[in-house]
Amino acid sequence: MSHNNGSIKLVAGNANRPLAEAIGAYLATPLTRAVVRRFADMEIFVEIQENVRGTDVFVLQSTSFPTNDHLMELLIITDALRRSSARRITAVIPYFGYARQDRRSSGRTPISAKLVANLITHAGADRVLTVDLHAGQIQGFFDIPTDNLFSAPVMVQDVKARFDLSNITVVSPDVGGVVRARALAKRIDAQLAIVDKRRERPGESEVMNVIGDVEGRRCILVDDIIDSGGTLVNAADALLARGATEVHAYITHGVLSGGAVARVTASNLKELVITDSIQPTEAVRVARNIRVISIASLLAEAIGRTAHEESVSSLFD
C-alpha cells in the first residue's frame, strides 16, 4: 500500500484524538487543522483551517459517549467539508453508536441505526468506514458505500503472541455471536463453544448452559461490545464452573458504562482485552485486568487503500 501522495486529508473530532493521531502517524499525514468547539450553550462550532478543495477527506470520529455530542460533531464536520468543496468525504467511525437499535424490538419503537445512517448520508458523507458493526446488515442501512472492517486480525496477532494455541477454546457469550467467534477460532485453529443465556430484562443476563467441551481448557470469550459487563462476567463464571482453567475475553468496543469497569475488575476474568475504537477512560487504563490494543494500523491501511482505490476486503483474506 503506497502512502499519502498529498491528496489525503485527515480531520478528527473530539471523540478519540489519540487514535486519530496514531492513524495520522501511520500514514505519515498530520491531522488537518480544524476547530471543533462549543459555544456557552454547548452548541457545536466547526471551522476547517486548511484548504480542502478537491481533496479526499477522512473524518475520524467514533460516536461513543457522549454519543449525541460526538454524532453531531461528525455531522457538522461533514457539512463544513462539503461546503468547502472537498472532492470526497469518508466518515471513519471506529465505533458506530446506535448500532444495537438495528430493528424494532417491539411495537412503536424506532430503528435508530437506520436514522443515524440517513443523517450521516444527508450531511454529505460519500462513504463510511467502520469496525465490527453489531449487525452486519447495518451496512445496508446506508445508501452510500460502507466498509465494515473486522478487528479479528489484530486480535489473532495478539492471541498468537501470548497463548499456547493447543489448549485454547474460543467461546461465544451468546448464540448471536457465533459467527464472530467461529471466524476467530478458524484463524487460530481452535475449538469452539457457545454460552446459552436467557436475558430476563435489558442490562441483565442469566447464563443457562455451555455448549461444547471446556473442561481443562483456557477459554477466550469473543464479542463486539461490552457495555455493563454482566453477560461477560456471568459467562466467565459458567465456563469456570464447567472446568475451564481460566477465562480471557477479547472485545472490540469497550463501552463499559456505569459500574462495568469495577464489575470486570472484581470478576473471575483473567483479562479483558479491548481495542481503542473508543478512547479508554482513566478507570480502564488503571484496571488490573483490562488491556487495550490498538486498531490504528488496521484503520490506516483501510484509509490508504480506499484513497488509492485498492481492495479493502483483502486485509482479511
> Please, where are the H alpha helices in 169-213?
178-188
Angstrom distance (rounded) from CA 106 to CA 103: 9
What pLDDT score was predicted for residue 202? 60
Strand partners, 38: 44
Write out pLDDT tens, residues 27-73: 999 999 999 999 999 999 999 999 999 999 999 999 999 999 999 99
Backbone angles phi, psi at 272, to 5 degrees: -110, 125
114 catalytic? Reply is no
- What domains appear along the chain, each with residue ranges and CATH number? 8-150+296-316 (3.40.50.2020), 152-293 (3.40.50.2020)
The gap between the terminal CA atoms of the chain, to the nearest Å, is 16
Cβ burial 91-123 (10 Å sphere, 16+ → b, else e): bbbbbbbbbbbbeeeeeeeebebbebbebbbeb
> Which pLDDT score, from 0 to 100, does residue 3 have?
46
| Confidence at residue 206, expressed as pLDDT on a 0 to 100 scale | 67
The SS3 of residue 121 is: helix
Q: Is 231 annotated as a binding residue?
A: yes
Grid coordinates of 48: 476547517
223 among the known binding-site residues?
yes
Q: Annotated binding residue at 229?
A: yes
CA-based nearest residue to 137, from 92, 90, 195, 96? 96
pLDDT < 50: residue spans in the chain? 1-5
Classify burial at 289, counting beta carbons within 10 Å of its beta carbon; exposed 0-12, middle 13-18, buried 19 or more. Answer: middle
Q: Where are the alpha helices (DSSP H) in 94-245?
A: 112-123, 152-162, 178-188, 230-241
Flag whether 196 is marked binding: no
Task: Specify the pLDDT at position 121.
Answer: 98
228 is in an annotated binding site: yes
Please check if 189 is assigned to a binding site: no
Contacts of 107 (CB under 8 A, 6+ apart): none
Among 9, 114, 186, 197, the one annotated catalytic: 197
Q: What is the pTM of this model?
A: 0.93
Going by C-alpha positions, the residue among 1, 156, 37, 19 that lies closest to residue 93 is 19
- Predicted local confidence at residue 176, as pLDDT: 84
Query: Known binder of ligand: residue 121?
Result: no
